[in-house]
C-alpha cells in the first residue's frame, strides 16, 4: 500500500466514524469566525462560544471593534486567557480591515496572515469555513494525529500542512482539517487516547508500537 493509498483509507475511515464532525465555533459572518478563531488560541471552543454572544452584541462589525474601549473589550474576553494581547490584536486587526478592506474579511492567504493575531491556522479556518476555499488547518490535534499516523514526521505546522497537501487532493483538504481536528480532540487525545473507540487501529503505527 502506498502512502497516498493509506492516507486515503485513513480519511475514508474518519468520514465514516465522524459524519457529524464540524467546526464548533459559533458564528454568523466571516468577521465573527475570524474573531472567534483568534480568541480560541490557548482556549477552548466551548469557552469562546460562551464569550462571543455578548461580544458580538456589543461590537456588531469591524468598525465598532476597531474603535472599542480596550478595557471594556478586555473584560468581555477575559475568560479566554491572554485577554490583553487578544484585545490588542482584535482592535488592530479590525483597524486594518477598515483601512484596507472596507471592513470586510479578505479571503486570500497573504492578506489574512498580514492581520495582527492571524497565522496560517486561523487563516485556513477562515478560508475553508467562511469561504469554502481549499486549505488544511494544522492545530495541535491535527499535528498529533499526523505524527501518530506517520503522515508527517514534522513538528512545524507549516511543514505538516505541506506534507498533508502532498498526500491528499485539494478537494479533500477541508475534510482533512475538519476530521483530523475532531478525531484528535475526542478520540486520539494527547494523554489518554481512546484507542478502543478508534477505527484506525490497523492503519496506525503508533497504536501498533504501543501494542508490542
- What does the pLDDT look like over 175-188, one tens digit per residue? 999 999 999 999 99
Find the farthest-apart pair of alpha carbons in the chain and give their distance in angstroms, rounded. Answer: 59
Where would I find the H helices in the chain? 3-17, 30-39, 45-58, 62-66, 70-77, 83-101, 109-113, 120-125, 131, 140-148, 157-167, 173-186, 205-211
Task: List the catalytic residues.
Answer: 121, 139
From first to last of its 212 residues, the chain has per-residue pLDDT tens of 899 999 999 999 999 999 999 999 999 999 999 999 999 999 999 999 999 999 999 999 999 999 999 999 999 999 999 999 999 999 999 999 999 999 999 999 999 999 999 999 999 999 999 999 999 999 999 999 999 999 999 999 999 999 999 999 999 999 999 999 999 999 999 999 999 999 999 999 999 998 65
Structural domains of the chain sorted by starting position, each given as residue range(s) with its CATH number in brackets: 3-21+136-211 (1.10.1670.10), 30-131 (1.10.340.30)
Amino acid at each position: 500500500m502506498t502512502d497516498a493509498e493509506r492516507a486515503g483509507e485513513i480519511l475514508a475511515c474518519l468520514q465514516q466514524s465522524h459524519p457529524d464532525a464540524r467546526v464548533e465555533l459559533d458564528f454568523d459572518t466571516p468577521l465573527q469566525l475570524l474573531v472567534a478563531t483568534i480568541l480560541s488560541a490557548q482556549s477552548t471552543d466551548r469557552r469562546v462560544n460562551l464569550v462571543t454572544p455578548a461580544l458580538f452584541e456589543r461590537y456588531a462589525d469591524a468598525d465598532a471593534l476597531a474603535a472599542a474601549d480596550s478595557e471594556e473589550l478586555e473584560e468581555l474576553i477575559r475568560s479566554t486567557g491572554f485577554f490583553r494581547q487578544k484585545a490588542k490584536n482584535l482592535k488592530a486587526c479590525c483597524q486594518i480591515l477598515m483601512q484596507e478592506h472596507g471592513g470586510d474579511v479578505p479571503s486570500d492567504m497573504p492578506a489574512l496572515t498580514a492581520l495582527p493575531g492571524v497565522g496560517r491556522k486561523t487563516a485556513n479556518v477562515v478560508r475553508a469555513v467562511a469561504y469554502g476555499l481549499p486549505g488544511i488547518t494544522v492545530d495541535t490535534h491535527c499535528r498529533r494525529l499526523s505524527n501518530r499516523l506517520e503522515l508527517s514526521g514534522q513538528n512545524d505546522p507549516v511543514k505538516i500542512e505541506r506534507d498533508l497537501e502532498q498526500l491528499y487532493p485539494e478537494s479533500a483538504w477541508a475534510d482533512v482539517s475538519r476530521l483530523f481536528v475532531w478525531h484528535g480532540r475526542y478520540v486520539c487525545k494527547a494523554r489518554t487516547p481512546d484507542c478502543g473507540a478508534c477505527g484506525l487501529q490497523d492503519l496506525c503505527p503508533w497504536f501498533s508500537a504501543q501494542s508490542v
